[in-house]
Chains A and B, each alone.
Chain A
Amino acid sequence: MFSKITDPRYKQNRFFISLFTDISQIPRSDAALAAYEFTECCERYPEYKQLSSALLDLYDASLSSQTALFGGARRTDIWADTIDDRYALNGEKLERELATLMCDCILRPRANDGMFDEKTVEMLRAQLIDNIDSVINDKAVYAAERAAKTAFVGEAAELPASGTRENAEKITAKSAFDAYREILRTARIEIFAVGCSDFSESEKIFAEEFSRLDRGDIYSFNLKPSALKDKPKYVEDELDMQQAILRMYFKAPDMDDRPANALFSNILGGMTTSRFFEDIREKRSLCYYCGCHSDRFSKTLFCSAGIEPANAELTKEAMLVELNDICENGVSQDELERAKLEVLNTLTSIYDSSFGISNWYLSQILDEKFISPEEYAEQIKAVSPERVREAARKYALDTVYLLKNKE
């Protein structure tokens, strides 16, 4: 499906191509490597150096790809942008060239006899393993990845989208190519163009190119909330580090009030006047950061804080106290208004960013119908303090994870 937003304010044009596939059908690491291939080379530019030069010629066009989990599915994104043709110094047709280059990279990879080029796969496999291993370099991400093994055990989110080192080590030029072919055959494909162009030419290019694909068994979403455990699990890990990281997971499998839930998580820990920020950071000086956000697909509330190891229990209790207080006493009209203003400000800002507007619509791909930022704003305005309290009451503690320094 091709969607576009033309806005003369933008000085550039950007394409997002999202391929949604079944996470259980195609091996994670093979699919991740296939995504690397999209930005590595293609038939037309068989070496990375050549592809990079082509991007320079398009006035420093960007070309990126990423594999992520999305509502229990795999989302493989490829996106590219460059400045609008009117800023090209020599009359180049940059938008058309960029659309063509993306098709080259996605549809005509450097492959022969049903497999990618072996040397390229060898290099990308090492790269993938480096990236999987390097999660330890960022302690917050490492803690999130480790905690997910408990919080989402048996579910798609238990493991990262790129899989494990062990999976990655087994990738071959053929297995990665098989994954690539299966992604293109079965993916739900969404192409999104945002910029100042009317995109008529690009739309034709993408329509013609993608129509040649051999398609079947198109993926359809099967969205399930994450299962709540009978009783909370407590897990601790140790690492050579100075600060400790606390992560708490609350789940609400029957959450059905999206706007109230969004406001609840903002009030609890999503803004600089949140309960967590004001009480745990500012009043008690327990941490530099302490916040939360909710995921409306898994119906999970993620809370985290960077703390002095000795303060772990104190911070956990403080987080529980704040959540329980909202469950029991609700929120004040004042803090609800502040949360609404913050969300409304964000919604108005969406149109000022090509990333923002495309993500707004792509994130609704699982919903029954699309709503505009203005429609969602009206829903936000209608939320009462009672609805926020009801949203809070739906959550129950599922997992507590602590990453701390080695004794």
Chain B
Amino acid sequence: MIEKIYNDIIKETCLKYVCSCGTEVYMLPMKGWNTAVAQFTARFGSQDNAFSVGERLVEIPDGTAHYLEHKLFESEEKDAFSLFAQTGASCNAGTSFDYTQYYFSCADNFKKNLEILLGFVSEPYFTEENVEKERGIIGQEITMYRDNPSWRVFTNLLESVYSKNPVRLDIAGTVESIAKITPQTLYDCYNAFYSPSNMFLCAAGNIDPDEIVEVCERKLKKARTFVAAKTADFDEPYEVNKKITRLSMPVAKPIFEIGFKRPAVYKEQEISDYIYYNILLDMIFGASSEFYEKMRVNGILNDEWSVSVFNGRGHFFLVARGESEEPEKILESMKETFRHYKNNPPQKELFERVKKATYGSLVKEFVNVRSVCNTLSEAVLSRVSPFCAIELTAAADYQTLLEKLSDIDEENASISIIDTL
């Protein structure tokens, strides 16, 4: 049965269907649009480097989820790129800390493309030869990221903030860790995490829901035996791992990221905290804040400044990033600003203004097919309703914001700096 989920604010209806195999399907048809996007997601990411099957603990090399993503594009006969090339669709995949996603966008042949997508993700084909061949390609990808200071400053921050949660490790692993990956490693992970009930499909745009349901039921039959795997608990301590991490690279000016660690939250609480802390960060550190104005005018910060929330399974922190000759001074100023506003709460008028802007930015997520599909996938990944963010934003109140502000531990922070050579 297809369930309808309607949102009165943006006047959109999302359809939810649960396949007989257990895979959840979320669809948002957009009348009159030319294109369609489908995203097939496994709840398996780089964080899952250890899991238990019954009493047995399985530890896998760092970077396995990403390696698996690369290898699923190949089947015994043709790779997925060749199959999509026959329909004109563009396809790709990505691995994050807590999920791996395979997707395509197309202007035609949606049904055929969906069959290809579900087909190649459901039919793993790993051999010694094809796994070995990928090592050089992924090795180059790892090297490319190691030359990227924006990526390094971020991964170093994760390593500083977290001491146990594997979010602290690079998604692609290292050249050394991927050397240990074998076809069996990939099959073990596939059988543990690519079971239908651990995956979900989101589609938006020019789509026919009945057609999607038919294809899913046909292609997602349980063709293999999956094992019941349990991901490891991270047992992450409250405190940050390290206060500071530094690295020197060829950059024009030192770049930095600052993280204020918070306990992990889940489901609606995660989305609610995400919204409140984003509003709060915009109010006191955003483009219209006194903090940023002072820092810009004094030449301490430039326009490469942004604040946001970084969250996912088992991790949640407030992050600020920028370029400056005095990164540590910025950290201290941010701490001071938090303390100031705890004693002198920001005006309610400012809260209403930023809340309205947040609402505007969420409406903008529904302006094109890809962003609609992304919004659905993000909500499902957090196990909330597709319109949860916009509903929680509309209901956000000033008093709760002040409580969130007082709950910040500004001393529980890390800074990651990339210095000039």
Binding site for B on A (CB under 8 A): 8-12, 47-50, 52-53, 55-61, 81-83, 87, 89, 119, 123, 126-127, 130, 133-139, 239-243, 271-273, 277, 281-282, 285-289, 306-308, 338, 341-342, 344-346, 348-349, 351-354
Contact = CB atoms under 8 A, between A and B. Distances in A.
Contacts of B297: 119, 123
A135 B135 CA distance: 30
A116 to B, nearest CB: 16
B252 A60 contact: no
Contacts of B286: 52
B35 interface: yes
Given A49-B289, A342-B90, A87 B10 contact: yes
Contacts of A11: 10, 363-364, 366-367
B354 interface: yes
Contact of B140 (A58, A83, A306): A306
Given A239-B250, A273-B85, A352-B33, 12 more contacts: A50-B288, A55-B287, A56-B354, A59-B360, A123-B299, A134-B251, A137-B150, A308-B143, A344-B88, A345-B88, A345-B89, A352-B34
A139 B205 CA distance: 36
Nearest to A285: B136
Contacts of A47: 293
Interface stretch (B101-109, B191-199, B233-241, B378-386): B101-109
Contact of B149 (A123, A130, A137): A137
Contacts of B253: 130, 133-134
Interface in B78-126: 79, 81-82, 84-91, 105-108
B207 to A, nearest CB: 13
Contacts of A341: 85-88
B143 A243 contact: yes
Contacts of B134: 285
B303 interface: yes
Contacts of A119: 297
Q: Tell me whether chain B's interface is mostly helix, strand or loop, or mixed.
A: mixed
Contact of A59 (B30, B90, B363): B363
B290 A49 contact: yes
B342 to A, nearest CB: 22
A10 B140 contact: no
A281 B250 contact: no
B414 to A, nearest CB: 21
A369 B33 CA distance: 27
A134 B141 CA distance: 22
B356 A87 contact: no
B359 A89 contact: yes
B333 interface: no
A61 B360 contact: yes
A349 B105 contact: yes
A89 B356 contact: yes
A138 B286 CA distance: 25
Contacts of A289: 144
A52 B288 contact: yes
A58 B354 CA distance: 10
B251 A136 contact: yes
B288 A56 contact: yes
Nearest to B248: A240
Which 10 A-B residue pairings sit nearest by Cβ, starting from the closest?
A: A59-B360, A341-B88, A285-B136, A348-B107, A133-B252, A52-B288, A60-B357, A52-B287, A60-B360, A288-B140
Contacts of B318: none
B212 interface: no
A97 to B, nearest CB: 13
A53 B363 contact: no
Nearest to A277: B81
A159 B253 CA distance: 22
A243 B288 contact: no
